[in-house]
Amino acid sequence: MDFRIRTLTPLWTGDVRGESSKLRETSIIGSLRWWFEVIIRGLGGGACDSVSEVVRKCELKGEEYKRGVKPEKLICPVCYIFGTTGWSRRFKLEINGKLSSLRPVIVKADMRKNHKGWFLGTGKSGGLMGTLEVRIYGKPWVCNILALVLSISCSWGIGSKTQDGFGICKLEEKCVVDETINKIKDLIGRFKRSQNGKLLPNIKDCFFVKITVKDDINDNIKEAFDGKLKNDSQMSVEEFLQSMPKYGNKFYPTAPLIRYWLRSLFRNGDNSLRHFLFGFVSIKGDPTPICKVHLTHVNKKGGCPKCGRALRNEEVYKRMGSKIFVSHIYNVDGSKWEFKIWGYVPKVLPNNEDREKILQKLFSEIKENKGFVNVLNLDRNSTDVKWYEVSDRRANISSVEELISAILEVDRNE
């Protein structure tokens, strides 16, 4: 099965040096696996944690398998397709294409001298842009499932650093949604049911937002970036655009500015919720680790205010990935621009925060108040915001099937 992919914002597939000088198939496969986990959990199946941050990853124990125990009893549906210890992948993926490396850039939040800015890229690489040819080998039902997962990944973030604006692509081919979801349900039905960790990403806990800007934004965006774009020396917006590949899609590195605005909405209390939603790395004690049980910051003595005792290393999160993702703003067809915000809000939150209130706050600030227009210097009336979520209150979507069709803009009646 063949696919053609065109990048809308840069791809990031880092190597051992933390750079992205060429495409790494392992990073693409990792993205596909992550999205498949999210879908499996949303459809009622069990999926292990591929990074083993919350629960252990599956292992197929050789002695049991040799005794005739079926793999469906030993591993989860995701590991059955993508492989794990003792069990190989059920498909082969090949990627070819001509990609160009962008220059890295630093985006500043403001002109404060003590603000170092956000680094989009490392070393000499700022990500990759171009066109990819993807070929998937495997049984037809496996290829069809991967086609659906690839379509979602391209639309909402493939590769690494998707929280920093990377990884939005256009998949030229369309996939069949309802029939493929039924195949996934059939797959789930063959496996032993297992309890999912409440902190693991689940598409039922996700929200997806697409913001479309109808007017040409070039003049407006230049003012928004005035003095905020740098590399080794100060870089203007024009210089940044000139550094892009001639055949690459036009975009502006706006994700850090939008992400900074979103984070600011949750600056209160002990900031546990903000770090939980947007991620953190504990360096020199700031921010401090989070208790794995109560999801609150430990105190200076290494104790949890809720637990009332000193915590061991294995009882705390010293780092946590972001649950909120933001794309850069990119050009769609010459006259229309768009960017995306999406994420997942687990049902278990720090300090027993109300999940519904958090989602409603995000909904109000993004869709109703359109706070992003001030950040990017856009005309409020020229923007259209579409919010997708399994919710009768905000999106009138009642099932995972409806949600997937909506975020892929597929008419289920076709």
CATH number of the domain enclosing 126:
3.30.70
Identify the pLDDT of residue 2.
Answer: 93
Nearest to 112 by CA among 252, 223, 227: 227
Cα separations (Å) of 45 from 53, 143, 323, 403? Answer: 19, 20, 21, 17
Residues 295 and 360 in one domain: yes
Domain, as residue range, for 281: 203-407
Say which residues have a Cβ less than 8 Å from residue 376's Cβ, sequence separation at least 6.
Answer: 217, 220, 221, 224, 254, 257, 258, 329
**Are 150 and 241 found together in one domain?**
no
For residues 85 and 119, state if they share a domain.
yes
Report yes or no on 413 lying in a domain: no
Residues 221 and 117 occupy one common structural domain: no
209 and 333 in one domain? yes
Domain final residue pick, 159, 189, 219: 189
Three-state secondary-structure class, residue 99: strand
Q: Do 132 and 252 fall into the same domain?
A: no
* Domain presence at residue 69: yes
- Asked whether residue 27 falls in the same domain as residue 127, the answer is yes
List the single range of 24-28, 59-63, 167-171 with lowest mean pLDDT.
59-63
Sequence-distant (6+) residues with CB within 8 A of 321 are 53, 163, 279
On whether residue 196 sits in a domain, the answer given is no
Same domain for 214 and 142? no
Question: Are 222 and 344 part of one and the same domain?
Answer: yes
Are residues 234 and 170 part of one domain? no
Last residue of a domain, one of 189, 219, 237: 189
246 part of a folded domain: yes
pTM > 0.75? yes
Residues 46, 119 within the same domain: yes
Tokens standing for 202?
């689940």
Q: Is residue 307 part of a domain?
A: yes
Q: Rounded CA gap, 172 and 156, in Å?
A: 15
Is residue 72 situated within a structural domain? Answer: yes
pLDDT tens digits, 156-175: 999 999 999 999 999 988 88
**What average pLDDT does range 372-379 have in this prediction?**
93
Q: 165 with 285, same domain?
A: no
CB 79 within 8 A of CB 105: no
Mean pLDDT score of the chain, rounded to an integer?
88
Which residue, of 166, 189, 212, is where some domain finishes? 189
Residue 368 lies in a domain: yes
The number of distinct structural domains making up the chain is 2
In the DSSP assignment, the letter for residue 366 is: I
Note the pLDDT tens digit of each residue in 102-146. 888 888 766 556 777 788 888 778 889 999 999 999 999 999 999
Asked if residue 197 is part of any domain, the answer here is no
Q: Hey, what are 278's tokens?
A: 């947007």
159, amino acid identity? G
Q: What integer is the mean pLDDT of 49-64?
A: 74
